[in-house]
Structure 1
């Protein structure tokens, strides 16, 4: 009797078949081979079966000749902006295509990544496109590995680009899995990084030559990223903890871990605009920190938690999705299971992962918005000059509630709130006006001047200075004017204010308009991280203290995509 084919290993790698062990079929290198650091060859063709088609989700044939499927994938790569977003910052599309003609392996890898994207955006044909991506990538690796060492100097530029595209593809594959536990996820992550770093290693000794090619501006940009360290406060806790591990980590390990954390902070500072840094993080990290990851040092696992948190901040990128949040949950469970001090190490990232819903409030939420407004502004000396007594501050809060309720009666008013998921508690709000979101009367004018106990001198003085600065900066030019971003003091530092600000910036960018604001001096650096720049300022004298100063800032709209 003929022996039946072993169905579980039908699509596994040749090494696992030879060893008669179950293969998880991860391409281009399965977990078994990654963990043991073995070569991981796959068959170059697979039986698609009779009647296979994209609609049926079966495996396509993969002949080396160009066909209409390849034409579709090439067209998708050249025309779909979402597909190449992660590449567009680091690798210009025209360089990719010109070099693909010199290195067919690069062309096959580009087509493989295009198919991988289609597997995500066309779920009805996901299996077909995913298998297409596997076959094209396998063929690309076969051609790349067949390059004669003596001939490699003719392949340095396409080889470098091939390394980058292959790395992005491998990261996409890693992020698409939903491993049941952290150890499995860590093994998959380690396998991905080894592949990405390993392919780049073929460039060792040739970087100076590569820097003099058409890749020079790309490499110079990469060096700038490498020197960045991040300025925001999100990673302050982990920086301090790592710096204090003098007895557990060497000086070199602490420095390398701090560098890895700095790049994570850069992504948190810039959000999706710095996705290229988080996608390249596995290659950028230094050898000493990579050693900590490979040996599973708890400090490195916590840093991975921050890395996954940064991935979650970039979840709109097609290859990321909800992977950051899922992996973050696994690493939290693992680190906290270690006991001792490690649960406290994860407290800050858990706070940062707290999710908020950004929504338009109802008039019933006006009282809560008034409360947040007062509590968030209590540290501002201008508030106390304008409302110098406890009674006047209470009257101000009541006025703000009425004022906001009236605002929310209009469908075009610019008001958003951040609500804590699970509880529905409003923790912050943003207010602005624009050509499509109008605040008919400035807050400091009108009825506010009739609030019992207010000091008209400082209300009128501020309005005069603020409106004069606006005229100097913009005249009659249309813009978004961000007037308030306030977060309840008990919920500050966990991303609510950033989420609110980013939502307004996104609306302004969609309208192609600049955003203008007047910032207190202690908030200038925060707005600079969003890309704002200082264009003006004004000062006024307050009782019993130094001059009060606000900085006028603007964020210009991004250039239109061609």
Structure 2
């Protein structure tokens, strides 16, 4: 009965976020359900995400739903591994695997934003773990983009196109990051990892800027973490200032998507925590993220 209640919640108007569903790059819930009905690991993850939604909205049952969702997600991962002992993508499973990977990556990221706020260190530790899982999205997409384009999911995939475009020479929101990397004492490999993270972020910001004012393309924002290199993730684990400042600029996108229940005030939390953890030496590189917190209601 709990599973049925969670399944029914997938049709909840709050869960569906109508404003987001109007965007062409948002995969309709009907597609998730269609594939989940014949794919147990995807159905378990879909129900886990529904439980996560209720853990955010049902304050009196917050931890009950979160623990239930965690159990469903653990079972989903187990079923996925049983179904795919050899990670081989084909036309028969590419859509299911992509939807599962995307859903679990977003779920883990947003769970960290909501539930790991005791300290920046606690969040970063959890976030780094999420990134290692989320990177599976990139692996599956890169292997199967030509297969995915032939499915119903393919019509909603704009991320590959965006990340093939050259970034703008300059970006008003990200100029401080280029100045930062010009003066950093990071090793060459670490600097390259940060530069790649910034380049991908530039591509997302440019795509957001070209979208209609009323639409924030959150699928692109959720795609950015999947593109981060292991070197950059390790810099985050070490809480290197350069990596944290890049993350604070990414959090601007999250803050601008604060109306979406998945994110809430996660962007504000992240920007405020990073700014509070870095000394005065670094504050000049954080002016734009701080200013973003003053945007709108």
The TM-score by the shorter chain falls in which range?
0.7 to 0.9
Query: Partner of 2:72 in structure 1?
Result: 136
Q: Say whether residues 1:233 and 2:166 are aligned partners.
A: no
Deviations 1:469-525 (A, max 9, x none): xxxxxxxxxxxxxxxxxxxxxxxxxx5xxx4xxx9xxxxxxxxxxxxxxxxxxxxxx
Question: Does structure 2 retain, via aligned residues, the 8 Å contact 1:259–1:285?
Answer: no
Structure having greater relative contact order (Cα 8 Å, sep ≥ 6): 2
Query: Partner of 1:460 in structure 2?
Result: none
Question: Does structure 2 retain, via aligned residues, the 8 Å contact 1:108–1:136?
Answer: yes
Distance change (3 Å), C-alpha of 1:205 and 1:296: same
Question: Does structure 2 retain, via aligned residues, the 8 Å contact 1:245–1:254?
Answer: no
Q: Say whether residues 1:69 and 2:2 are aligned partners.
A: yes
Query: Partner of 1:281 in structure 2?
Result: 224
Q: Say whether residues 1:262 and 2:198 are aligned partners.
A: no
Q: 2:14 aligns with which of 67, 76, 82?
A: 82
Query: How many residues were matched structurally?
Result: 285
Structure 2 unaligned segments of length 5 or more: list them: none
Distance change (3 Å), C-alpha of 1:328 and 1:82: same
Distance change (3 Å), C-alpha of 1:206 and 1:277: closer
Query: Partner of 1:120 in structure 2?
Result: 56
Query: Partner of 1:299 in structure 2?
Result: 242
CA distance in 1, matches of 2:228, 2:206: 14
Distance change (3 Å), C-alpha of 1:174 and 1:102: same
Distance change (3 Å), C-alpha of 1:283 and 1:148: closer
CA distance in 1, matches of 2:78, 2:282: 44
CA distance in 2, matches of 1:289, 1:247: 11
Question: Does structure 2 retain, via aligned residues, the 8 Å contact 1:263–1:281?
Answer: no
Tell me by how many angstroms 1:151 deviates. Answer: 8.8
Structure 1 unaligned segments of length 5 or more: list them: 1-67, 356-494, 504-562
Q: What pairs up with 1:534-553 in 2 under 5 angstroms? A: none
Query: Partner of 1:352 in structure 2?
Result: 292
TM-score of the aligned structures, taking structure 2 as reference length: 0.81
Tell me by how many angstroms 1:197 deviates. Answer: 1.3
Query: Partner of 1:317 in structure 2?
Result: 260
CA distance in 2, matches of 1:243, 1:272: 33
Distance change (3 Å), C-alpha of 1:305 and 1:103: same
Deviations 1:382-439 (A, max 9, x none): xxxxxxxxxxxxxxxxxxxxxxxxxxxxxxxxxxxxxxxxxxxxxxxxxxxxxxxxxx
Query: Partner of 1:333 in structure 2?
Result: 276
Query: Partner of 2:154 in structure 1?
Result: 216
CA RMSD, Structure 1 to Structure 2 (Å): 3.1
Tell me by how many angstroms 1:145 deviates. Answer: 1.1
Deviations 1:103-153 (A, max 9, x none): 111011111111211221222222332222122212211111111446954
CA distance in 1, matches of 2:58, 2:144: 40
SS state of the match for residue 273, structure 1?
coil
CA distance in 1, matches of 2:41, 2:197: 35
Query: Partner of 2:117 in structure 1?
Result: 179
SS state of the match for residue 15, structure 2?
coil
CA distance in 1, matches of 2:6, 2:195: 43
SS state of the match for residue 197, structure 2?
helix
Tell me by how many angstroms 1:284 deviates. Answer: 3.1
Query: Partner of 1:8 in structure 2?
Result: none
Tell me by how many angstroms 1:322 deviates. Answer: 1.5
Tell me by how many angstroms 1:295 deviates. Answer: 4.7
Tell me by how many angstroms 1:309 deviates. Answer: 2.8
CA distance in 2, matches of 1:72, 1:283: 31
More helix by share: 2
CA distance in 1, matches of 2:60, 2:239: 39
CA distance in 2, matches of 1:303, 1:127: 32
CA distance in 2, matches of 1:241, 1:167: 29
CA distance in 1, matches of 2:235, 2:69: 32
Distance change (3 Å), C-alpha of 1:263 and 1:135: same
Q: 1:111 aligns with which of 47, 59, 65?
A: 47
CA distance in 1, matches of 2:234, 2:66: 32
